[in-house]
Amino acid sequence: MIVPYFAAHLDITPVAKERPRVNRRSGTIYTPQKTRDYEKAIAEFVAAAAQDLPAVNEDDDLWIDSHFHLPGRARKDLDSLVKALWDGITMSKAVWADDKQVVSASSSATYGCEQPHIVVQVGVQQVGGAIAPPSNARSKRKAAAPPARTRHPATTSAPVAVRSRSQQEPAETAEKVSPAR
């Protein structure tokens, strides 16, 4: 069963995660300052929005839906936007302990927005019990078959089939279409 867990409207301009850099003198690898500042800002926004949330169990699988509203027309890699957001959420420790709990994700970007922001929703697909603070004893994940059909809590559209990774079929190759000139 998927339970809505966290939703937020983050009034921040989305920033794509930059690649790690290497200090030529010392050889150390570091994250660029722009990315560190952005991830810290995301962590602060999320921590403030998720103050009263109970912690999720380490056994719970999470889904995340994120929509980025960006200024201008310059295209940014969606995967870099998502990674920076997820790292900021992980840094906050308010929604999840580690982004490895995310088993399903949906994201999109809209360009040319006057007020840049991010809309994010997180849901919990419960595997073993209700949402509760994690206990000190580590419990093993029980192998449970996912439900055959489920509805996304934010929509009232037709049911969507849920499959585990081992049940997924390889993606079909889509035909590449170039715009008419």
Q: Bigger pLDDT: 174 or 95?
A: 95
Measured CA to CA, the distance from residue 100 to residue 119 in angstroms comes to 21
At 114-148, the pLDDT tens digits run: 999 999 999 998 655 554 444 333 333 444 444 44
At 30-60, the pLDDT tens digits run: 999 999 999 999 999 999 999 888 888 888 8
Measured CA to CA, the distance from residue 81 to residue 32 in angstroms comes to 15
* pLDDT score, position 167: 46
For 108-118, letters b (16+ CB in 10 Å) and e give: ebeeeeeebbb
Domains along the chain with CATH numbers: 2-139 (3.30.1330.70)
Measured CA to CA, the distance from residue 171 to residue 148 in angstroms comes to 20
Are 2 and 50 in contact by the 8 Å Cβ rule? The answer is no
Three-class DSSP category at 71: coil
* pLDDT score, position 139: 38
Average pLDDT for residues 154-162, to the nearest whole number? 40
In degrees, rounded to 5, the angle at the alpha carbon of residue 39 between the alpha carbons of residues 83 and 125 is: 50
Q: What percent of the chain has pLDDT over 90?
A: 57
Half-sphere exposure of 54 (CA within 13 A, CB side): 13
Q: How confident is the model at residue 75 (pLDDT cuts 50, 70, 90)?
A: confident
